[in-house]
A = this chain, B = another copy of it.
């Protein structure tokens, strides 16, 4: 034992902290701090990373470390928890398996890197059968094939609710990697695909469930109505092909992020990391006609879906003006421009007005 690392020194203070009942212990609710606050707290306690192979730690879509001269790996990890990130009554197991890998691949893509390897940790409650896990693995396999990823490790543990915790390792040349921090005033802000569809799909599924439950019927997702939006919610694809196309066109974005928490939130992340502002052109935001139809069906404005609806997993990129012309204009939409920091993040409405655009992202810890 002499040479093994020392276990924690003095257990007594920690022991008292393990006692939430002790009235004298301070108890700050995690809801007061939020997800980003907790991650910041962890970085603070752990201190700076002292390893010169690490080019980026916990401050972007994925961490980056050098594996040989000019070549880096990126690593990201994202968990989906039943009752928090999905509802098993309307997320089929196959889609869940696909989505859990997809959201991690999306983070790798957001570094302009290619996904390579994955590890999969499943927390499995008693009421999940082997057959249900088989369907989940099937969705995972589809995602592995779609993104050319090899699952090389995993852990399966008992848990009170279904949990999928996945880590994906990707690869890139060191000078191809794109961080959030490189946007410059004058850059064009572009997005792939369309926005708000995943949130629209969630609305449709929740509504279907509520109506069927009111009628006492078992719920089963209806893929025939608003099927584009429902699929985008249940099995969002990662935009791997977009970065391949851009590389082929000789375009390297100056900043890149995937849209997991809504466009407004991601624009704030890029602006904060880059020390810039942004002007988002409201009328130019790409919306699928079905997303618009869902919003109309629920008598809501589609703008909120597009700006704040999460889980689209499209990409937001800042491009040098010259690079814009190199891209297929059918594949990307120009949604704004990068401005000086002092202008903040603003939205230009169809009426030509400009107003501050708040992040408005979704925080699982503030749900109460």
Q: Residues of A with Cβ closer than 8 Å to B?
A: 1, 3-9, 11-22, 25-33, 35, 38-39, 41-42, 45-47, 49-51, 53-54, 56-58, 62-63, 65, 67-68, 71, 73, 75-79, 81, 83-85, 88-95, 98, 116-117, 119-124, 126-135, 137-144, 146-147, 150-161, 163, 165, 167, 169, 193, 218, 220-221, 223, 231, 234-242, 245, 331, 364-365, 367
Q: Is the CB of B167 within 8 A of A119?
A: yes
Write out the residue numbers on chain B whose beta carbons fall within 8 Å of the beta carbon of A28.
129-131
User: Given A117-B54, A141-B45: A130 and B32 within 8 A (CB)?
Assistant: yes
Query: Are the CB atoms of A123 and B163 closer together than 8 Å?
Result: yes
Closest to A130 in B: B28
Contact A51 B92 (CB under 8 A): no
Task: Flag if A18 contacts B93 (CB, 8 Å).
Answer: yes
Q: Are B121 and A29 in contact (CB under 8 A)?
A: no
CB-contact partner of A14 in B62, B93, B157, B365, under 8 A: B93
Chain B contacts of A41 at CB under 8 A?
Answer: 130, 133-134, 137
Are B159 and A163 neighbours in the complex by a CB distance under 8 Å?
A: yes
Contact of A42 among B62, B94, B120, B165 (CB under 8 A): B120
Residue of B nearest to A331 (CB): B3
B129 to A18, Cβ gap below 8 A?
no
Q: Are B146 and A364 in contact (CB under 8 A)?
A: no
Instruction: Choose among B9, B120, B157, B218 the residue that contacts A81 (Cβ–Cβ < 8 A).
Output: B157
Contacts of A120 in B (CB 8 A): 42, 77
Q: Which 5 A-B pairs have the closest CB atoms?
A: A5-B146, A14-B94, A7-B235, A63-B152, A14-B92
A78 touches B155 (CB 8 A): yes
Name, among A151, A159, A221, A231, the residue most crowded by chain B CB atoms within 10 Å (CB to CB): A159
Query: In the complex the two chains form, what is the Cα distance from A58 to B155 in whole Å?
Result: 9
> Interface SS of chain A: helix, strand, loop or mixed?
mixed
Q: A5-B238, A159-B161 are in contact. List 7 more A-B contacts (CB 8 A).
A: A4-B242, A14-B93, A20-B127, A39-B154, A57-B152, A67-B71, A159-B163
- If A57-B153, A58-B151 touch, does A15 touch B75 (CB 8 Å cutoff)? no
State whether B42 touches A129 (Cβ < 8 A). Answer: no
Complex Cα–Cα for A84 and B98 (A)? 27
The listed residue (B9, B75, B122) touching A152 by CB distance below 8 A is B75
Partner of A5 from B9, B143, B245 at Cβ < 8 Å: B143
- Picked from B38, B62, B138, B165, the residue with its CB within 8 Å of the CB of A165 is B165
For residue A216, give the distance in angstroms from its CB to the closest CB of chain B.
Answer: 13
Separation of A121 and B63 alpha carbons in the complex (Å): 14
Determine which of B7, B54, B93, B157 lies in contact with A79 in the assembled complex, contact meaning CB atoms within 8 Å: B157
